[in-house]
Structure 1
Amino acid sequence: MPKGVTKRRPRTRAALLRAALATFAAHGFHASTIEQICEAAGYTRGAFYSNFGSKDELFLALFDDHSARIVSRIAELIDAATAEEFTLQDVADALSDIEPAERDWYLVSTEFTLHAIRNPHAARALAEHDARLRAEIARGLREQLTRAGRALTVDADELARLLIAIREGGLAQSYVEPDRLPPGRLERRFLVPLLTALTTDLG
């Protein structure tokens, strides 16, 4: 493959991902067409199929991209904690951070999850990507809880599932009633007592 094409490929892929997220959020996963995504990105169908085999594959690439950004964002917030004594509150504050742009991802991911529930092949693929995200969350939890002087008394993967459920369930309510329940409020209110109950003091 020519060097120019090789260098352009990451830019093309990134542009298609950005266009796909915006298109899916505006029109829905099923209603959006590959043509709409290509038009929004400024590329042809050929460019799409040189990067993705289907809309499902495109969504899963979005999932991995979003997961990496969220994990990185949480790590940055935790690393920025300047308190002399790192606490469970620092962990909870990082996990409670919800950026405004998260709403678009919530719309897209919720619709794809419903699609996966109806489609066994999509469900298996989504479960694999979910598992990789949970593994990253579980690893980070163990590390940061140790830093806070705590150790888990439950399975880290199961706790990661619970934290994801709290985040997604809280966002569903927040986006319906944004004035009554700002995004992240439930996590800020309940994660410290939850993590306290599910950990033990290392000291």
Structure 2
Amino acid sequence: MPRGPTQRRPRTRARLLEAAFAVFADRGFHGTSIEDICNHAGFTRGAFYSNFTTKDELFLALFDAHTERVLERLRAIDPPESDGDVFANVISAATQPSDDERRWYLITTEFTLYAIRNPDAARALAVHENRLREAVAKLLGDLCTELGVEPSTDLDDLARLVIAVIEGARAQSYVQPDELPPGRLERTFLPPILHAFTRSVR
């Protein structure tokens, strides 16, 4: 059985990730130092560097953790009744408004802007975004199989479209939440878009 540092390391990493999420959301990615994260987590800089080499690497670990939480939520959706809309159920689950999602949007948008200006960061972010998109494409493919339909366009492109609509809609909702409550645009338009890009095979 693992003991000592080996046993503590996953807990240390988890606490650093929790601290980073909180401080990034409060001060911004660029406004947060490694020292800020360590102080919030109650660790020394040595604990940080035994788990991450850079602040960028820590963000990408947060990105992967967030992706897995979203995918777990989507995979746990119960099939609808016979007259239900599978696409609508999935989109509804994917766009449930929460304070954490708003905070994550602030964090990831700032990092994306940074990556657009920094080729190394862009290449690193693209690797993690590709994994997310591949998972979304697989989920869409599985849904199509369940519905007895097939996509009429490339699944990777369809996944890109779904992600783009969700991210763009969130930006508008967070700026004007009273006029456009979070999730409304996605729930209204994504299901018919998905149906428009699928065709029956039965």
Specify the TM-score bucket, using the shorter chain as the normaliser: over 0.9
1:68 and 1:98 map into 2 onto residues whose CA distance is 17
Per the alignment, residue 84 of structure 1 pairs with 82
Aligned positions of 1:22-61 closer than 5 A:
22-61=22-61
Aligned positions of 1:95-174 closer than 5 A:
95-174=94-173
Higher mean alpha-carbon deviation, 81-90 vs 159-168, is at 81-90
2:111 and 2:34 map into 1 onto residues whose CA distance is 16
User: Deviation of residue 72 (structure 1)?
Assistant: 0.8
Contact 1:86 1:148 (8 Å CA) reproduced: no
2:52 and 2:93 map into 1 onto residues whose CA distance is 33
Deviations 1:162-192 (A, max 9, x none): 1111111111111111111111111110012
Q: Which secondary structure state, in structure 1, belongs to the residue aligned with residue 99 of structure 2?
A: coil
Per the alignment, residue 8 of structure 1 pairs with 8
User: Deviation of residue 152 (structure 1)?
Assistant: 0.5
Change in Cα spacing, 1:100 to 1:145, as seen in structure 2 (3 Å) is: farther
User: Deviation of residue 85 (structure 1)?
Assistant: 4.9
Contact 1:24 1:32 (8 Å CA) reproduced: yes
Gaps of 5+ in 1: none
1:92 and 1:70 map into 2 onto residues whose CA distance is 12
User: Deviation of residue 92 (structure 1)?
Assistant: 3.0
Change in Cα spacing, 1:177 to 1:161, as seen in structure 2 (3 Å) is: same
User: Deviation of residue 89 (structure 1)?
Assistant: 2.5
Contact 2:97 2:182 (8 Å CA) reproduced: yes
User: Deviation of residue 40 (structure 1)?
Assistant: 0.5
Amino acid at match of 1:50: S
The CA RMSD over aligned residues, in Å, is 1.4
Gaps of 5+ in 2: none
Change in Cα spacing, 1:149 to 1:97, as seen in structure 2 (3 Å) is: farther
Q: What percent of counterpart residues are identical?
A: 56
User: Deviation of residue 113 (structure 1)?
Assistant: 0.3
- TM-score, normalised with respect to structure 2: 0.94
User: When the two structures are aligned, how many residues end up with a matched partner?
Assistant: 200
Q: Which secondary structure state, in structure 2, belongs to the residue aligned with residue 180 of structure 1?
A: coil
* Runs (4+) off by over 6 Å: none
Higher mean alpha-carbon deviation, 19-28 vs 143-152, is at 143-152
Contact 1:93 1:188 (8 Å CA) reproduced: yes
Change in Cα spacing, 1:32 to 1:129, as seen in structure 2 (3 Å) is: same
